[in-house]
Chain A
Amino acid sequence: GAGVSQSPSNKVTEKGKDVELRCDPISGHTALYWYRQSLGQGLEFLIYFQGNSAPDKSGLPSDRFSAERTGGSVSTLTIQRTQQEDSAVYLCASSPRRGKGHQPQHFGDGTRLSIL
């Protein structure tokens, strides 16, 4: 499987707990993106990593959200003290590079997060 891999595929947790979502991008892709998709909605940009540059965190909705990308590959999105409004599908995408004209993004199947 050479595609973007996300885990877990589903996560149910209680309000107030912390959760970690993982993304394995396509090997060699230097750009990695996290999005959030609420039911029946479009994609909300969260954060973007490009190589060794500082990440673009402008889409993170609150300081409870953070993400890191270790070794330029695997990324983890962490949500602390989860709230019910955090329930959504969290999608990760990668692309070969980011240029002036964006490259097509390759998506994982997402993590469906449900906060009870």
Chain B
Amino acid sequence: SQQGEEDPQALSIQEGENATMNCSYKTSINNLQWYRQNSGRGLVHLILIRSNEREKHSGRLRVTLDTSKKSSSLLITASRAADTASYFCALSEEKLVFGKGTKLTVNP
């Protein structure tokens, strides 16, 4: 099964800036999910976007899905130091397949 590829692998920004992370994949999917993982903790589900949806919002998070380009992006607006974490996209096929993640550091 395919794995989403996140880009960039690491991102360092200042508090207040926006952070954009991308996920690309190769074949069709049922849905795509984004998760956050704080250091030493489990993953926390952020947003699920279905294959027939183009954009979803949740608080400061905005997720887009472009099925023609087979890519998704996660935008975190007005970032905070507490947003420092690794962010993973997960592709829904028969199983949920996780990428290797983007490590985001938000500097105070």
Q: In chain B between 66 and 108, which residues have their CB closer than 8 angstroms to a CB of chain A?
A: 88, 92, 95-101
A48 to chain B, nearest CB (A): 7
Q: B60 at the A/B interface (Cβ < 8 Å)?
A: no
Is B95 in contact with A45, judged by CB distance below 8 angstroms?
A: yes
Let me know if B31 and A101 touch, CB within 8 A. yes
The A-B contact count (CB < 8 A) is: 49
- Whether the pair A109, B40 counts as a contact (CB closer than 8 A) is yes
Residues of A within 8 A of B33 (CB): 102, 104
Q: Main SS of the interface on chain A?
A: loop
Expressed in whole angstroms, the minimum distance between the Cβ of A46 and any Cβ of chain B is 11
Is there contact, CB below 8 Å, between B100 and A102? Answer: no
Q: Which of A54-107 contact B (CB under 8 A)?
A: 56, 59, 91, 93, 100-102, 104-107
B30 contacts A109, CB within 8 Å?
no
- Contact across chains for B3 and A91 when beta carbons are under 8 A apart: no
In the complex, the 8 A-B pairs of residues with the closest C-beta atoms, listed nearest first: A107-B42, A104-B45, A42-B100, A43-B98, A102-B92, A107-B43, A101-B30, A42-B98
A selection of 30 A-B contacts at a CB cut-off of 8 Å is A42-B3, A42-B88, A42-B98, A42-B99, A42-B100, A42-B101, A43-B43, A43-B98, A45-B96, A56-B95, A91-B42, A91-B43, A93-B43, A100-B30, A101-B30, A101-B31, A101-B92, A102-B30, A102-B92, A102-B96, A104-B48, A105-B45, A107-B42, A107-B43, A108-B42, A109-B40, A109-B41, A109-B42, A110-B41, A110-B42
